[in-house]
Amino acid sequence: MTSPRPSVLRVDRRRALLVELINIPSVSHHEHHLANWTEAQLRQSPHGEVLRAGDEVVFRFPALAGKSKIIFCGHLDTVPANDNQTARVEGDRVYGLGATDLKAGLAVFLDLIETLDPATLHVDPVFVFYTCEEVAYQESGLLVVERELPEVLQNTRFAICVEPTDNAVELGCLGNLHAEVTVRGKAAHSARPWFGENAIHAAAPLIERIAAVPERSVDYGEQLRYREVISATTITAGDARNVIPDTLRMNVNFRFAPDRSREDAVTVVRELVGDAGTIEVTDLSPAGRVASENPFCRVLVAGADGAVRAKQAWTDVGRFSEWAIDAVSCGPGIPAQAHQQEEYATIGAMTRSAAIFERFLQEAREVS
């Protein structure tokens, strides 16, 4: 299926690609140079075509149009730098900002595109390189793709997000709701608190209620368990230490299981807060449906030797679910390394990732 480039050279190629990818800074909202570089790489393919909308870059093989469409997607952006902008190779490891989340996955994609022969494929792989995954739900470059290049998403049968999963197939994802809860009181001098109403004191029973919400586990078969959790993650009240505070603000974060809709999640938080405060939902990312029954998912899982896990966090799998597209996460990065200053990826995991995707593309067939 692939061109006859020796595998040892491909290992070197992926490492070189990853080093280049790391060395082109691409913090969220600043992906322009990396998008240009990626486009230039992709335009060297003799078989493919490149679409671009803003800094969203799409690669596909026109000859495969009409076959079952499989999206391979990875984000170009990284979290902010932390004195780790320059790639460093040490043995099997490549260190640097975004190495594991998820430029190692992008390197696997680029190498795959260079070596794929579309004449051997029975599905239509479409590669999407997008911006602003590390920021708010509504800022994602996938929304630009949806708006500017709608045909890219249409009739997609399956999508693979190359998020760091250590090459396991992670199914579904938790939904993610952030709500700013405001508890109101009335200011007064702290020597005469009876003239006011202390917003911190007023919030205590609400915090107790949030802390007391039991974890809810939702199982899909024997291998997949999603743990639904709610937490107060930030709190602030009081400008002056001798004044009874009249306002308390608290971020409540609800990570909800795939069996809940976004509306349902909002209802849970509203009922929990009750009349203790007002609520502004500041982020609401849908849970991702569990695609274990999707035939392409079965092929991918088989190729990954059955390594499946529930995704105990949010990923763009949830966004694809909103578009009624089954999706999973599967990539060479190491989950625990994501967003760490000493973030790294391994050459070995990239080799394995390439093998999983190649096997998937060899074995995936039209299914009705």
Interface ranges with a second copy (CB under 8 A):
174, 176, 178, 189-194, 198, 200-201, 203-205, 207-208, 210-211, 215, 227, 229, 231-245, 248, 250-251, 253, 255, 312-314
Q: Which is nearer to a second copy, 155 or 217 (CB)?
A: 217
Least distance in angstroms from the C-beta of 42 to a second copy: 32
Asked whether the beta carbons of 130 and 53 are under 8 A apart, the reply is no
- CA–CA–CA angle 287, 177, 265 (5° rounding): 70
Sign of CA dihedral 254, 222, 159, 81: positive
Catalytic residue among 77, 166, 316, 343: 77
Least distance in angstroms from the C-beta of 253 to a second copy: 5
Q: Which is nearer to a second copy, 116 or 187 (CB)?
A: 187
**42, amino acid identity:** L
Least distance in angstroms from the C-beta of 174 to a second copy: 6
CA separation for the pair 202, 296 (Å, rounded): 52
Locate 134 and state its tokens: 């590390």
Locate 114 and state its tokens: 């260079």
Q: Which is nearer to a second copy, 24 or 290 (CB)?
A: 290
Q: Which is nearer to a second copy, 34 or 290 (CB)?
A: 290
Asked whether the beta carbons of 105 and 163 are under 8 A apart, the reply is yes
Asked whether the beta carbons of 44 and 75 are under 8 A apart, the reply is no
Catalytic residue among 55, 56, 133, 146: 133
Q: Which is nearer to a second copy, 203 or 334 (CB)?
A: 203
| C-beta contacts of 225-232 below 8 A and 24+ residues apart | 225/310, 226/172, 226/174, 226/257, 226/258, 226/310, 226/312, 227/257, 227/312, 228/174, 228/254, 228/255, 228/256, 228/257, 228/260, 229/254, 229/255, 230/254, 230/255, 230/268, 230/269, 230/272, 232/207
In this structure, the number of other CB atoms found within 10 A of the CB of residue 293 comes to 9
Instruction: Tell me if residue 77 is catalytic.
Output: yes
**103, amino acid identity:** K
Instruction: Tell me if residue 133 is catalytic.
Output: yes
- Positions marked catalytic: 77, 133
